[in-house]
Structures are given as structure tokens and as C-alpha cells.
Amino acid sequence: MSTYTQILYQIVFSTKHREQVLKGENKKELYKYIWGILKNKKCHLYQIGGVADHIHIITHLHPSVALSDLVKDIKLASSEHIKKESLFPQFGGWQEGYGAFTYTIKEKENLVNYVKNQEEHHRKKTFMEEYKELLNEHGVEFDEKYLL
């Protein structure tokens, strides 16, 4: 019997200290690079986007891929790529943790649109406000001191 899964993940992580460094046209290059990592791991990317201090990845994970390993690989490889290609000269790395939230396939369109409109969305809300909202929406208990 084959393995079948249909779980959408929204993976969110920020730059170290939420530095506003992911700016300009090089964001497209970063997103393309991350898409390549996902593709190599047989994961399907639905959308990637973000603003100067964080990114959102909407993906389906291949059943053989562990979420924590995937995020670690994305962070390590993209950090190296950013530095090697001088994509964002002020980039100091990614934050230590990440958020990962699951959705059903029925929520895909809304989720993709949400990530596509990050620039507009963050005119009204900070990353921290958005992140706390996601945690609350998904019933994740958290301690504010660890969100700094």
C-alpha cells in the first residue's frame, strides 16, 4: 500500500533579532533558492513570501521529510547562499526557532493569498502581532519572554 498525505504547512521564521534586512529585488532570488531546496526534498511549494524581517512558506511535505529537518536545511542553506551571493549585506542569520501551522487543502487559496499580500498585511500589523495571532488561532500556548 502507498502512503498518501495532504497536509499544508505554513512555516514562518524571522531574521535574527527581527532585523529589517530582506529588502529589494534579491527577495525573489532567495525565494527561488528556497523553492529549489523544497523541490529537492520532494515537497510541493504553494507560495512563499514575506517582508523585510520574516518569511512565510506554504508547502506540502513529502511523507519522508521531517519538518524540523526541512526547516533546519532551509535556514542553513539559505543563510549560506545569502552570504555567498551578498543578497542582503546586513543579514545576520535567521532566528533560532520557527512556527509551523497545519491547514487542510480547502484552506489553500486563502492561505496562498494571505502570503501573497504580506506587504499590504504588514502595513497594519507587526510581525510579532501577526505571530501571536497565529499562535492563538492554532491554540498554541506560549510564554511572551520566548518570543523576543
Condensed to tens digits (0 to 9), the pLDDT of residues 10-25 reads 999 999 999 999 999 9
Q: Is the dihedral of CA 82, 115, 58, 136 positive or negative?
A: positive
pLDDT of residue 148: 62
Q: pTM of this prediction?
A: 0.91
In-domain check, residue 143: yes
Residue with cell 511535505: 61
In-domain check, residue 1: no
Which residues constitute the domain of residue 124? 8-147
The tens digit of pLDDT for each residue in 38-75 reads 999 999 999 999 999 999 999 999 999 999 999 999 99
Backbone angles phi, psi at 129, to 5 degrees: -60, -45
In-domain check, residue 25: yes
Q: What is the CATH number of the domain that holds 88?
A: 3.30.70.1290
| Number of independent structural domains in the chain | 1
In-domain check, residue 84: yes
In-domain check, residue 2: no
In-domain check, residue 27: yes
Contact 48, 55 (CB under 8 A): yes
* CB neighbour list of residue 65: distance below 8 Å, 6 or more residues apart: 41, 42, 43
